[in-house]
Amino acid sequence: MDEHIAGVLAESNRIINRLQLLSVFFQEEVVLKIYLRSKVIHQLFENNTELSIDKLELFHLQFTSSVIELLRKIKKNNEKNVTLIYDEIQLNKEVIAKLNDTVLNEKNFLEGKKSQSLKVNISLRNLFEELSGHSTDFPFVKNITRLSARYAKDFYYTITADNLAELINYEESEVYISTYGVIEKKLMGLLCKLDFKTEFVYGLKSGMLIIEIYKFVETEQHFLFFPSRNLFLFCNADDLAGIGISTNVSEKGRLIQELSYQNDKLESNAASVKTYIPAEIISLLEDNYTKISDLNFLNHLNNFDVQANILKAMLNTDLM
């Protein structure tokens, strides 16, 4: 075989192999059809030595090489977009991990609130015994400040020093004062009446000082515990106005679900984005396939000049 013919056929095979890889990557029907048609054209020249091999070279130069370059540009651009998608997925995963940690801590905090309520109820009952003269033991349960030490930083609401001062202000005539603590007289009376059944609601902090707010299980009456002075006082809605008492566990749980759902959608979209070909280019490729499928295409090969110029112009557009 003539060396020139052999060289053109070898280069043609390399070009067609590149086109085949792109057809496998994009899984787009028109690209596959162009690859198969190009292979048929190659075989036509390979099996018919009387045909001018220069026309095969011209065919690849004017058409196939431009198609390959165009598809490669689309592939590169798509891969950048896929990278952005996976970057977003990774960021979402990091946020989800942090939210999961926070939700877990909040759940632990909610469990801790139950234990704290029990500690305070026992301590109040012991304080009553001490005030009644029935006991001289230290009334407060061990580790009564463990909850605030562990969770105040993240879960207690911040108030001003003035707010704190107003909340813990009292008239001495209205309180019982013992060796171990101070409690409002009416509060102790209600505690005895309701059998010391109270529950922790939320905590407040001002600098290093904290206040814990409790309510009676059977009423909406609130009182505070100020551990620094072992002080218990009533507090009402006006005293607590403007202080949020809701938990955002459910909100964070909802956000985790939304981000997880978003990641599922992004994962699904990544595959289609990776192999996406703009509609304008699909249309152009279909036109080209129609032309190279013409049985008389060899006689009109020079007419590929115009089509090749369109393909090359596509390479300089922002369609991708």
Q: Is the dihedral of CA 24, 27, 31, 35 positive or negative?
A: positive
- pTM for the model stands at 0.54
pLDDT of residue 309: 59
Q: Which residues contact 68 (CB under 8 A, 6 or more apart)?
A: 15, 18, 19, 22
Please report which confidence band the pLDDT of residue 231 belongs to, taking 50, 70 and 90 as the band edges: very high
Q: In this structure, what are the phi and psi dihedrals at residue 86, rounded to the nearest 5 degrees?
A: -70, -30
> pLDDT-derived band of residue 317, with 50, 70 and 90 as boundaries?
low
List, in order, residues 6 or more apart from 3 with CB less than 8 Å away: none
As a whole number of angstroms, the distance between CA 79 and CA 304 comes to 30
Report whether 92 contacts 262 (CB < 8 A): yes
- Mean pLDDT within 186-215: 94
Candidate from 2-16, 69-83, 110-124, 294-308 with smallest mean pLDDT: 294-308
Provide the CB-side half-sphere exposure for 213 (13 A, CA): 21
Cβ–Cβ under 8 Å, residues 95 and 103: no
Tokens of 257: 């679900």
Report the candidate in 68, 67, 27, 32 with the shortest Cα–Cα distance to residue 274. Answer: 27
Question: pLDDT-derived band of residue 315, with 50, 70 and 90 as boundaries?
Answer: low
- The reported pLDDT for the residue numbered 254 is 76
- Cβ 56 vs Cβ 37: under 8 Å: no
**In a 3-state reduction of DSSP, which class is residue 201?**
strand
Average pLDDT (135-139) is 90
Q: Which residues are CB-neighbours of 205 under 8 A, at least 6 positions away?
A: 152, 156, 157, 158, 159, 211
